Amino acid sequence: MFSQILIAIILGSIAGTITGLIPGIHINLVATLVLTSSLFLLKFTTPIILAIFIISMAVLHTFTNILPSIYLGAPEAGTALSVLPGHRLLLEGYGYEAITLTVIGSLLGLISIIIITPLLLLTTEVLYSSIKIYIAYLLIIVSIFLILRDPHSKIWAFISFILAGVLGLAVFGLNLDQPLLPLLSGLFGTSGLILSYKEKTKLPPQIITKESKISKREISKSIGSGLFASLICGFLPGIGAAEAAIVASSTSKKWTTRSFLVLVGSIETIVMIMSFIAIYTIDKARNGAVVVISKILETMTIDYFLLFIGASLVVAGIATILTLQIAKIFSKIITKVNYQILCLSIIILITLIVIILTGFMGFIILTISTFVGMIPALKGIERNHLMGCLILPVILFFLL
Partner 1 sequence: MKDSTLFKISIVCSLIGIFILFIVSEKLDLSKSDIGSINKEMLDKKVKVKGYISSIAETPGLYIINLNDETGNITAIVFKEESFNITKGSIIEIEGKVVEYKEKLEINAEIIRI
Residues near partner 1, by CB under 8 A: 1-2, 5-6, 39, 43, 46, 48, 100, 103-104, 107-108, 110-111, 210-212, 214, 216, 219, 303, 306-307, 309-318, 320-321, 324
d(CA 16, CA 67): 13
Contacts of 86 (CB under 8 A, 6+ apart): 66, 69, 70, 95, 98, 99, 102, 261
Q: Is the distance from CB of 234 to CB of 274 less than 8 angstroms?
A: yes
| Residue (115 or 144) nearer to partner 1, CB | 115
CA distances to 172, 186, 249, 253 from 223, in Å = 34, 30, 11, 16
| Residue (83 or 107) nearer to partner 1, CB | 107
Least distance to partner 1, CB of residue 13, Å:
11
| Residue (212 or 370) nearer to partner 1, CB | 212
Least distance to partner 1, CB of residue 226, Å:
16
Least distance to partner 1, CB of residue 383, Å:
28
| Residue (108 or 244) nearer to partner 1, CB | 108
| Residue (306 or 378) nearer to partner 1, CB | 306
| Residue (100 or 275) nearer to partner 1, CB | 100
CA distances to 10, 37, 324 from 44, in Å = 17, 12, 34
d(CA 56, CA 54): 5
Q: Is the distance from CB of 345 to CB of 216 less than 8 angstroms?
A: no
Q: Is the distance from CB of 312 to CB of 60 less than 8 angstroms?
A: no
Listing DSSP states for 350-383 in one string gives HHHHHHHHHHHHHHHHHHHHHHHHHHHHHHT--G
Least distance to partner 1, CB of residue 298, Å:
10
Distance of CA 141 to the CA centre of its chain: 22
Least distance to partner 1, CB of residue 111, Å:
6
Least distance to partner 1, CB of residue 141, Å:
36
| Residue (313 or 341) nearer to partner 1, CB | 313
Least distance to partner 1, CB of residue 212, Å:
5
Q: What is the DSSP letter of 250?
A: T
| Residue (183 or 316) nearer to partner 1, CB | 316
Least distance to partner 1, CB of residue 330, Å:
16
For residue 389, give the amino acid letter.
C
CA distances to 172, 190, 245, 261, 390 from 142, in Å = 22, 27, 12, 22, 13
